[in-house]
Amino acid sequence: MSNDLSNQPDILTAAERAQIDSSTSGAALLFFGSSAFWLVFASLFDVIGAIQLSYPCFLDGISFLTYGRVVQTATTVMAYGFATPAAIGIAVWLTARLCKVPLSHHRMLVSAGIVWNLGILVGACSILAGNSTSFALLSFPAFATPILFVSYALIAIWVLFTFNERKSGGLFVSAWFVFAAVLAFPWLFGTANALLVWNPVSAPAQPAIALWFSSGFFNLWLVPVGLAAAFYIIPKSTGLPVASSNLSLLGFWTLLLFGAWTGGAQIIGGPVPAWITSAGVAASIMMIVPALALGLNFHLTLDGHYAPVAWSPALRFIVTGIGCLVTYWILVAINSIPGVNAMTQFSDINRALYYLGHFGFFAMTAFGAIYYIVPRLTGHEWPCAKFISLHYWLAVTGFGFIVSGLILGGLIQGSALSQTIITFRSSVEFAWPFRVFAMLGSLLILASAVNFALLLIGILLETHKNQAPAFMAEREENSQEPVAV
Amino acid sequence: MNKLPNIFVGIFVIFGSAWLGLVNYPLKNLGNLQPVPDEATGGVLPPTVSGLAVAGHKVYAANGCVECHSQQVRFAPLTTDIDKELGKRQTVARDYLREKTAFPGILRVGQDLSNYGARAGEDINAIHRHLYEPRSVNPWSNMPSYCFLYNVVKIQGQPSNEAVTGLTGPCAPKPGYEVVPTEKAKALVAYLLSLNQSYPLPESPVATAK
């Protein structure tokens, strides 16, 4: 095994770990706490939008609650209010742990966190007030995004600075993913805002750039951070080394290589050069390679040791997230086959895939990471294991309802949209019951978000003096698995 | 051993190649597209749009219409868009030259609008009625009402000649009142009527034989 990619996260003494963790706690808790707040906010708007889609009279005729603005607020706040701060919190904590140095410039990160949240507040209000750009995941108007960019620059500089200061030793695979993600985000966000929002380029060039951004935002920013957390926390909480460093390497490079090109598959037959859609289709199908390499690697790591998944909140959420990611990429590959796509392109399947990726994978993995990290920052355990279990089941049932409902409904709706003899009206009516089903899922997700926020408030305020770790099930007495450290 | 610079170079090359292909190429090629001269009228194709339609484009963006409506006709025979009469020909990049922002859309929760102007006809009042209360036109519609783009005002003397007529049921104004479109509503209608790709382009001629 080469020295550059070790299979064990790190070898630190408990005292060193505690010192590193306490140095990151202020900044990381700020990012996690604000992400929980925005998660509840975004889920609430998601529910409003889901109800309006099936019952259009709900809150109808109010300018700032019109469906288009509500949905854009939900998706944009979910991406920048919840997902990105959660990713930043995870990345900051992981960077300090992986580089084995306590956090320096703590105030810079806390200021960045405050500025970031101000940016989200300004952005969300301006979408609702009618200043949206209407680009997917770029709806914040030109005066809100520079705030986010400045804040992010402070964070990225800190991360790169810490990588430079790191103690010698092999770079664990999580560090690769964090490093790639931290570089990818400003590249994507800066380019897309400069060309589409701040000083828009000529409209014919915009669709390709917008798709490059929206697919990159997921594949090159959220996915690498989620995987970095998984690669760190799975070995840490089971005591098992990552099964194969070659599979890690294969997964890492194929993810970056193909992930950056998948956007074109969303506009097959549309107004972009044909080679861009062909490249997008090829890349989307090739995403099966990182899906299998990463999925297999996690499976081989946990093979025969799946027992802790039952009682460890972090493991259960993360393993569910990885399962969703593999499913997501396989469905994306199938959906991008031109013959299939001709039918499914404008159907609810697009929304199903959005929820499966952003919620099923990223949010679940982030929840798992937060359940692992926060007790180490605060020095005390989660108040109530039953509540964590409830959060898990609400979230899983919620996105299960949404994804299954929208995939089934999308197939029927898409087939109606593509058949010449079926009227448009039928496509709306066929999709209706499935959208109602998905709406119930959105309600469950809102409940799970509130549940999660309450847990976070509970641990921050130390409502229960719980000394023992919160396990979701009885640990087997003869279990060989070491306690998470 | 410190291999971080190597990882950095690898990441840089991979991101850079995708950036060249998906950002720089469209920017250099599609970004410089120009209208083509129209020999029949002496104008250009796609035709230039009115200032009111440009203002309406902003209303379209502000209210997130793109969340439900696509604006692209995909090519036949892979798709049935042309058979379903969404348009007479495939939408190409040059069609978006008329607009400041391209809204190809990713969902068809509502109808495709790339040729709405060609379908809608001349009856502006019907379009206002649809925007004011979609279910008064199509009872099955799940489109939101854009009544906040209209003012309900008391009729002073003669009724306004801009007032929306034919509103029935719960959305009808009380007797003595009328529904008058705001500037935003008028701009939105002008924009919707400007959505019309019935002109031919060299890279996407209108199919004549059918």
Average pLDDT, stretch A392-416? 97
**Quick check: is B11 in a domain?**
no
Q: What is the rounded distance in angstroms from the CA atom of residue B32 to the CA atom of residue B187? A: 28
Convert the pLDDT of each residue in A422-454 to its tens digit: 999 999 999 999 999 999 999 999 999 999 999
> In this complex, is the C-beta atom of B48 within 8 Å of any C-beta atom belonging to chain A?
no
CB atoms within 10 A of CB A424: 17
Q: What is the rounded distance in angstroms from the CA atom of residue A122 to the CA atom of residue A197? A: 16
**Quick check: is B123 in a domain?**
yes
Q: What is the rounded distance in angstroms from the CA atom of residue A468 to the CA atom of residue A472? A: 12
The maximal CA–CA distance of chain A, rounded, in angstroms, is: 71
DSSP state of B32: G
CA distance B2 to chain A (A): 7
Q: What is the rounded distance in angstroms from the CA atom of residue A371 to the CA atom of residue A237? A: 12
In 3D space, the residue among A377, A134, A396 whose CA is nearest the CA of residue B57 turns out to be A134
> In this complex, is the C-beta atom of A285 within 8 Å of any C-beta atom belonging to chain B?
no
Supply the ipTM of this predicted assembly. 0.93
Convert the pLDDT of each residue in A296-347 to its tens digit: 999 999 998 898 888 899 999 999 999 999 999 999 999 999 999 999 999 9
**Quick check: is B202 in a domain?**
no
Q: What is the rounded distance in angstroms from the CA atom of residue A267 to the CA atom of residue A346? A: 10
Q: How many helices (H) and strands (E) does chain A have?
A: 18, 0
The B residues from 181 to 200 touching A (CB cutoff 8 Å) are: none
CA-angle at B54, arms to B46 and A52, nearest 5°: 110
Q: What is the rounded distance in angstroms from the CA atom of residue A209 to the CA atom of residue A189? A: 11
Confidence of residue A480 (pLDDT cuts 50, 70, 90): very low
Whether cis (ω within 30° of 0) applies to the bond prior to A9 is no
Confidence of residue A85 (pLDDT cuts 50, 70, 90): very high
| pLDDT at A171 exceeding the cut of 60 | yes
**Quick check: is B204 in a domain?**
no
**Quick check: is B3 in a domain?**
no
Closest chain B residue by Cα to residue A131 = B62
Instruction: Write down the pLDDT at residue A485.
Output: 38
Q: How many helices (H) and strands (E) does chain B have?
A: 7, 4
Partner-chain contact B145 A71, CB within 8 Å: no
A387-399 as b/e, with b when 16 or more CB fall inside 10 Å?
bbbbbbebbbbbb
For the whole model, what pTM was predicted?
A: 0.94
The A residues from 416 to 445 touching B (CB cutoff 8 Å) are: 417-420, 424-425, 427-429
**Quick check: is B128 in a domain?**
yes
Out of A56, A60, A204, the one facing B102 most closely (by C-beta) is A204
Convert the pLDDT of each residue in B83-132 to its tens digit: 988 999 999 999 999 889 999 999 999 999 999 999 988 889 999 999 99
**Quick check: is B188 in a domain?**
yes
| pLDDT at B172 exceeding the cut of 90 | no
Q: Where are the domains of chain A?
A: 11-169
Q: Give A11-169's CATH code, choosing from 3.40.1620, 1.10.3470, 1.20.120, 2.60.120.
A: 1.20.120
Q: What is the rounded distance in angstroms from the CA atom of residue A117 to the CA atom of residue A81? A: 7
Supply the range of the domain harboring residue B94.
36-194
In 3D space, the residue among B169, B73, B77 whose CA is nearest the CA of residue B119 turns out to be B73
> In this complex, is the C-beta atom of B135 within 8 Å of any C-beta atom belonging to chain A?
yes
The A residues from 136 to 165 touching B (CB cutoff 8 Å) are: 136, 139, 163
CA-angle at B8, arms to B3 and B12, nearest 5°: 150
Mean pLDDT estimate for chain B: 90
More confident residue, B208 or A402: A402
> In this complex, is the C-beta atom of B21 within 8 Å of any C-beta atom belonging to chain A?
yes
The CATH number that applies at residue B52 is 1.10.760.10
**Quick check: is B110 in a domain?**
yes
3-state SS, residue A433: helix
Q: Which segments of A230-349 are extended strands (E)?
A: none
The A residues from 12 to 51 touching B (CB cutoff 8 Å) are: none
DSSP state of B147: G
CA distance B42 to chain A (A): 23
Confidence of residue A475 (pLDDT cuts 50, 70, 90): low
Out of A134, A179, A209, the one facing B7 most closely (by C-beta) is A179
> In this complex, is the C-beta atom of B113 within 8 Å of any C-beta atom belonging to chain A?
no
Q: Which of B7, B9, B15, B22 to mutate to test the interface with A (most CBs of A within 10 A)?
A: B22
Pairing mode, strands B36-37 and B44-45: antiparallel
| pLDDT at A384 exceeding the cut of 90 | no
Number of domains in chain B: 1
| pLDDT at B161 exceeding the cut of 90 | no
